[in-house]
Amino acid sequence: MKRSKIKDLLAGVGLGEKVTTMGWVRTFRNDMFIALNDGSTVKNLQCVVKENSGLKLYAGTCIAVTGSLIESQGKGQAYEVLADEVTILGEADPQSYPLQPKEHSLEFLRDIAHLRIRTNLFGAVMRVRSALAQGVHKFFAERGFYYFNAPIITGSDCEGAGEMFCVTSLPHDNAPRTEDGKVDYSKDFFARQTNLTVSGQLEAETYAMALGAVYTFGPTFRAENSHTTRHLAEFWMIEPEVAFADLEENMELAESFIKSVIRYAMDNCGDDIDFLDARYAREENKKTAASRSAMGLKEKLNFILNNDFKRVSYTEAVDILKNSKANKKGKFKYPVEEWGIDLQSEHERYLVEKHFGCPVILYDYPAAIKAFYMRMNDDGRTVRAMDVLFPGIGEIVGGSQREERMDVLMQKIKDLGMDEKTLWWYLDTRRFGSAPHSGFGLGFERLVQFVTGMENIRDVIPFPRYPQSAEF
């Protein structure tokens, strides 16, 4: 007999018929009622076994059930299976199986990331993550973008922050040395120094200069020692790059992109988002009234869909912050005193959550605090950068119009003391048929955080990598 998925059975597919379904036992109540889950939905299927069946079923046991799908006599579900036959496919010892039918802390679950996916919460989060990823590809496919795969191993440091993981096959305890005692990377696998990419942008730019519009969607790596709820050492980034687009168009693209993928997840993961919405409400209720979010999860998502993002220049933002009550009363850890400071997440969140009450796109940042590739404005001190800031998250997107003028770009590279020789291929895009172009990077996990309402970024990626942690 063919296997039915629980999602279909709960929709009544096969009503009145004999069905077979397989999954993992969540609970076995009164030796009669099995709550079964197979990952196809957050909802469990109730399977009723005959009294005195002698079955020993525990949380985590994998079983196959054959029986008739009927309208449920009990409350809580429309359909259930009257089991004729239950076969144990894989036992789970109740003494050692770490998941019990109770709420476990997220910290505890992080230590068993290989099993936490068997909880309702992580099932819902990861199904939403999957839908968001599919929504990403759908959005760009509909707009004629090409999916471009940037290399993971690279010699460049796109963001210039030096936060890279070195990739080498040299023996670390006995690496060959040059005469001046440095590691001799010419003897390394690639005959040069290489690292895991922090961003696929530079390579994406070369493709945009031929295919017109491309996007990456891949893992990126940063060796920053951040212990925050918004940083990972390995995270996924989506980076569109568009020829002939200016910053305006870049902002429009970012806004419609985010709205489109959120809508896609809401349309395709209704049950999961309902579940996460209820959980979010319970979590918020545990907080003090002052720190509680004004909106529920679904309310927040709908708010994003139905409101324009507010566009504000960096200069305006600094004025707002400088003159804010929070700043005057010394509420910021980093007081806002002068133009030119790098905005901290407390500032970003103040703007979004307190001042504007909606997503904000900040643009035209001081050149000195942004990467080398951003287009210089005529004022000579700001660049065509943009950051999209989200409530509860802070920066979700970073992007810019790119500096397409060779002379301006070269000057910048010199001023920053960067090695232009290793960037020869990037500079060729400016040498040969340069064009105005723009792009951005969206941190995929931050988006998943926003849509699922999860507080910690470590809980929205299957196996998180962060300082002191790369188990699994």
The stretch near ligand 4AD (CB under 6 A) out of 5-13, 38-46, 414-422, 443-451 is 443-451
Among Mg ion, ligand 4AD, none, the one that 232 touches (CB under a kind-dependent 5 to 8 A) is ligand 4AD
d(CA 266, CA 451): 9
Among ligand 4AD, Mg ion, none, the one that 239 touches (CB under a kind-dependent 5 to 8 A) is ligand 4AD
Binding to Mg ion (CB under 5 A) within 386-425 occurs at: 398
Task: Find all residues with CB under 8 Å of 18, minimum gap 6, and list them.
Answer: 1, 66, 67, 68, 84
Residue closer to ligand 4AD by CB (options 34, 423) is: 423
The stretch near ligand 4AD (CB under 6 A) out of 3-11, 33-41, 356-364, 395-403 is 395-403
Which of residues 67, 218, 399, 453 is near ligand 4AD by CB under 6 A? 399
Per the listing, tokens 């065509």 go with: 384
User: Is 370 one of the binding residues for ligand 4AD (CB under 6 A)?
Assistant: no
Residue closer to ligand 4AD by CB (options 139, 440) is: 440
Q: Per DSSP, what are the bridge partners of residue 90?
A: 62
d(CA 21, CA 32): 17
Nearest CA-CA partner of 16 in 56, 92, 52, 67:
67
**Long-range pairs, 281-285, Cβ under 8 A, ≥24:** 283/453, 283/455
Task: Find all residues with CB under 8 Å of 95, minimum gap 6, and list them.
Answer: none
Number of residues that bind ligand 4AD (CB under 6 A): 22
The stretch near ligand 4AD (CB under 6 A) out of 91-99, 137-145, 148-156, 396-404 is 396-404
- Per-residue binding letters, 144-173, with ligand 4AD (x by CB under 6 A): --------------xx--------------
Orientation angle between helical segments 270-285 and 297-306, nearest 10 degrees: 120
Residue closer to Mg ion by CB (options 240, 398) is: 398
The stretch near ligand 4AD (CB under 6 A) out of 33-41, 165-173, 231-239, 299-307 is 231-239
Among Mg ion, ligand 4AD, none, the one that 396 touches (CB under a kind-dependent 5 to 8 A) is ligand 4AD
Per the listing, tokens 């869909």 go with: 305
Please, what is the minimum distance in Å from the beta carbon of residue 398 to Mg ion? 3
d(CA 436, CA 94): 62
Q: What is the DSSP letter of 356?
A: I
Which of residues 49, 65, 150, 232 is near ligand 4AD by CB under 6 A? 232
Residue closer to ligand 4AD by CB (options 123, 398) is: 398
Q: Considering just the CA atoms, what is the radius of gyration of the chain in Å?
A: 26
Residue closer to ligand 4AD by CB (options 104, 465) is: 465
Considering only the C-alpha atoms of the chain, give the largest distance between any 2 of them, rounded to a whole number of Å: 84
Please, what is the minimum distance in Å from the beta carbon of residue 463 to ligand 4AD? 14
Q: Which SS3 state, helix, strand or coil, does residue 427 take?
A: helix
d(CA 18, CA 66): 7
d(CA 21, CA 36): 9
Q: Give the E-state strand segments of 183-337 in sequence order.
A: 194-196, 213-221, 234-243, 310-313
Residue closer to ligand 4AD by CB (options 231, 259) is: 231
| Side chain identity at residue 51, one-letter code | E
Residue closer to Mg ion by CB (options 35, 371) is: 371
Please, what is the minimum distance in Å from the beta carbon of residue 249 to ligand 4AD? 14
User: Is 443 one of the binding residues for Mg ion (CB under 5 A)?
Assistant: no
Which residues lie near ligand 4AD (CB under 6 A)? 158-159, 199, 201, 222, 224, 231-232, 235, 237, 239, 395-399, 439-441, 443, 445-446
